[in-house]
Structure 1
Amino acid sequence: MARNRFAPDRGLTSRMVLTMFLLGLVYVVFVAVLVVVLRDAWPLALVIAGGLLFVQYFFSDRIALFSMHAREVTPEQAPQLHAIVDRLCALADMPKPRVAIADTDMPNAFATGRNSRRAVVCATSGILRRLEPEELESVLAHELSHVAHRDVAVMTVASFLGVLAGLLTQVGLRIGMFGGFSRDRDSNTGAVLLLVTLVSTVVYAISFLLIRALSRYRELSADRSAALLTGKPSTLAAALTKISGQMARIPTRDLRQAEPFNAFFFTPAVSGGQGLATLFSTHPPLPQRLDQLGRISRELGRY
């Protein structure tokens, strides 16, 4: 990873490393089961899942921009936006990513790209209209932290196991629906398909929860990095509060359409709620994010 001035967080880093270790452990066990049970057929599943990973990893920036109907903009087309990104990149000592705008009223921002050379930071037209320059700067600092820490690459690699398990689960269920588990077929084949489907379902569920936990840790880390880089945690808290409040004014249909991209966004289009629902959310609850920023503000006030 290229060196930059985004402050590290040992606590969050250790939790992310532990989560990645658990994902790797589940991955090893899952592949071992595939090798034993499927024998000659398991390489095909890995090749298909690997192909999906390849596309997602190398074309994540294009896919995200296309899906959000975003367009790259020049400094002449968006001088204020480029000026903020220029200042933050100089402050963080990192290469400047491409800059884009998504024409949607939903106030949000996201960053994508497997590395700093392929990165793009995108703001929606809705967030550009609603936030003050300092608030927008804090949000973009959060997104640039994702770029600096290569979060898109990390999450893409981490999701590989879930993609593979989900693929095998779907294949197993479809074969079962079309008679794959019937008594007329070879009993061993049916047992193998059933076992692979059950194992894949369990692995998918475990990896799903671990990936969501990893995503929440990375959002907290990006909040912290942005607050320390700009020295204005209260401004980031104000932006979070404002955007969350404005989300209620966006038509539900538009929010539902954007929900699949929650993992990319600064704040989710549809909140994951509280309690157990938090386990399935890509972002920490708003109170948790505000509490962390409040602690950082108090710490900065001591110096």
Structure 2
Amino acid sequence: MPRFSTWKLKLRMFLAVAILFGILYALLSVIGIYAGIKSPLIYILLALFIVFIQYLISPKIVEMGMNIHYVSPQEAPELHSIVEELARNAGIPKPKVGIAEISIPNAFAFGRSKRDGRVCVTRGILNLLDKEELKAVLGHEISHIRHNDMIVMTFISVVPLICYWIFQSMYWGSLMDRDRGSSLAIIGILAFIAYMIGQLLVLFVSRIREYYADLGSVEIGGKPHKLASALYKLVYGSAVVSKENKEEVNQVSGFKAFFLNDINQAGHEIKDLKQVDMDMNGTISREELERLRYTPVKIGLTEKILEIFSTHPNTLKRIKRLSELTTSV
């Protein structure tokens, strides 16, 4: 199994998480010092309780929202064979395998732990990708399970939640408490700013986890050009479905963080992706990806801004990063 340097990704994620919890600590300190509130711990305990409940019930919510049914090895032998091989390479228990009956081409992983992992594909992706592309996509999803991304993202999402509750509490407190109204209002404003920054940092960490999962797919058997080709096809496929079936897209948008790419940004990414498919045949070959390694790419200003507010990195940037792995495989 090849190994790649990830120290830059690790450093960025560590700094983001450190800043995230640094903001929370500073905010709680301000509350304790200036507002005279003796037990800001109540916000932490309440947020942890809510997130814990969400952690427990989220698999059932995803199953219902995505119209998932789990399939046996007899029903989907090829799918099970790929998942079993990748799970073995990743050193984790084989996840449950399911199919979501939606036309948007994509795949996703969820669950409470490695032993509770579930990997699902949509009906749309089965009609779009070849076997090696599907394997690379499933490798990405299994890497999310391998890296405990469900737990990581649940854990850090506590911070902006606490900040938002502090904002709400201070805002209403400032209206009801004449003596400390101005102090509470200032803290409320600071809490709202912290909430906004916290949300952006959570999205930043989410994007880093996607890069990790891309790299993880290659580590456990996915081919870089096949994952790049799959990403390319998924963007186009999502854009087509967005035009033809907006109702379905709106229905599953709340779960897009689980997907391989941001389905709501697909329409904006198509133009930039024309730089990748040099022979315009709808796929990315190994030769095209290797060539991209030495070719600068241009990303539009709109796409750069949209990426800041997305759970996923810009697809062209992901494909460019995958090109750096071609000589290693």
Structure 1 counterpart of 2:259, one-letter code: F
The correspondence of residues 160-179 of structure 1 with structure 2, limited to 5 A, is 160-172=158-170, 175=172
Residue 269 of structure 1: how far off its partner (Å): 1.6
Instruction: Report if aligned partners of 1:115, 1:153 keep a CA contact under 8 Å in 2.
Output: yes
What is the DSSP-based 3-state SS (H/G/I as helix, E as strand, rest coil) of the residue aligned with 2:240?
Answer: coil
CA distance, structure 2, for counterparts of residue 119 and residue 69 of structure 1: 17
Q: Does 1:80 align with 2:78?
A: yes
CA distance 1:92–1:5, change in 2 (3 Å): farther
> 1:108 matched to which residue of 2?
106
Summarize the alignment of residues 1-303 of structure 1 with structure 2, pairs less than 5 Å apart. Answer: 9-36=6-33, 37=35, 39-40=37-38, 42-172=40-170, 175=172, 181=175, 185-230=176-221, 232-250=223-241, 251-271=245-265, 274-300=303-329
Q: Please, which moves more after superposition, 91-100 or 164-173?
A: 164-173
- Residue 139 of structure 1: CA displacement? 0.4
SS in 2 for 1:198: helix
Give deviations 1:228-257, integer Å, cap 9, x for gaps.
322510001110011111111112332233
Aligned equivalents of 1:170, 1:186: Cα separation in 2: 14
User: What CA distance in whole angstroms lies between the structure 2 residues aligned with 1:260 and 1:160?
Assistant: 18
Would the alpha carbon gap of residues 231 and 195 (structure 1) be closer, same or farther in structure 2, given more than 3 Å must change?
A: same
Instruction: Classify 1:63/1:70 alpha carbon distance in 2 versus 1 (closer, same or farther; 3 Å).
Output: same
Runs of 5+ in structure 1 lacking a partner?
none
Q: Once structures 1 and 2 are overlaid, which stretch shifts more, 113-122 or 215-224?
A: 113-122
What is the deviation of 1:299? 3.6
Q: Would the aligned equivalents of 1:212 and 1:279 in 2 still touch at CA under 8 Å?
A: yes
Deviations 1:124-166 (A, max 9, x none): 1111222111111110000000100001101111110111122
Cα distance in 1 for residues equivalent to 2:161 and 2:61: 17
CA distance in 2, matches of 1:89, 1:6: 17
| Secondary structure class of the residue paired with 2:105 | coil
Give, in whole Å, the separation in 2 of the partners of 1:190 and 1:41. 19
- Contact 1:258-1:269 within 8 A present in 2 as well: no
What SS does the corresponding residue of 2:102 show, helix, strand or coil? coil
- The whole-number CA distance in structure 1 between the counterparts of 2:31 and 2:3 is 41
Q: Which amino acid in structure 2 is aligned with residue 205 of structure 1?
A: M
The change in CA–CA distance for 1:62 and 1:34 in structure 2 (over 3 A counts) is: farther
Cα separation, 2, equivalents of 1:38 and 1:163: 22
Which whole-Å CA distance do the structure 2 matches of 1:15 and 1:25 have between them?
A: 15
Task: Find the aligned partners of 1:192 and 1:244 in 2 and give their Cα distance.
Answer: 48
Which stretch shifts more, 54-63 or 131-140?
54-63
Contact persistence 1:112–1:152 (CA under 8 A): yes
Aligned Cα root-mean-square deviation (Å): 2.2
Of all paired residues, the percent bearing the same amino acid is: 33
Aligned length: 290
- Contact kept, 8 Å, 1:7 with 1:225, in 2: the verdict is no
| Shift of residue 291, structure 1, vs aligned partner | 0.3
Helix, strand or coil: the match of 1:76? coil
1:7 shift after superposition: 5.5
Contact residue 159 and residue 198 of structure 2 kept, 8 A? yes
Provide Cα deviations, 1:237-294, integer angstroms capped at 9, x if missing partner. Answer: 1100111111111123322332222221111121185122211111111110110111
Structure 1 range deviating more: 223-232 or 201-210 = 223-232
- 1:21 partner amino acid: A
CA deviation vs aligned residue, 1:186-213 (integer Å, no higher than 9, x gap)? 4124334423321221111111111111
Is residue 70–residue 102 contact of structure 1 (8 Å, CA) maintained in 2? yes
Deviation at 1:29, TM superposition (A): 1.1
Query: Comparing 188-197 with 221-230, which one deviates more in the overlay?
Result: 188-197
Deviations 1:58-117, CA, capped at 9 Å, x for gaps: 333223222222122222232221111011112222211112211110111111123211
**CA distance 1:8–1:59, shift in 2 (3 Å):** farther
- CA contact 1:72–1:98 (8 Å) conserved in 2: yes
Aligned equivalents of 2:46 and 2:91: distance in 1?
A: 39
Query: CA–CA distance in 1 between the matches of 2:167 and 2:254?
Result: 20
What secondary structure does 1:101 align onto?
strand
Which amino acid in 2 is paired with 1:141? G
Please state how far the C-alpha of 1:8 moved relative to its aligned partner: 6.1
Structure with bigger RCO (C-alpha 8 Å, 6+ apart): 1
The 1:72/1:6 distance shift into structure 2, 3 A limit, reads: farther
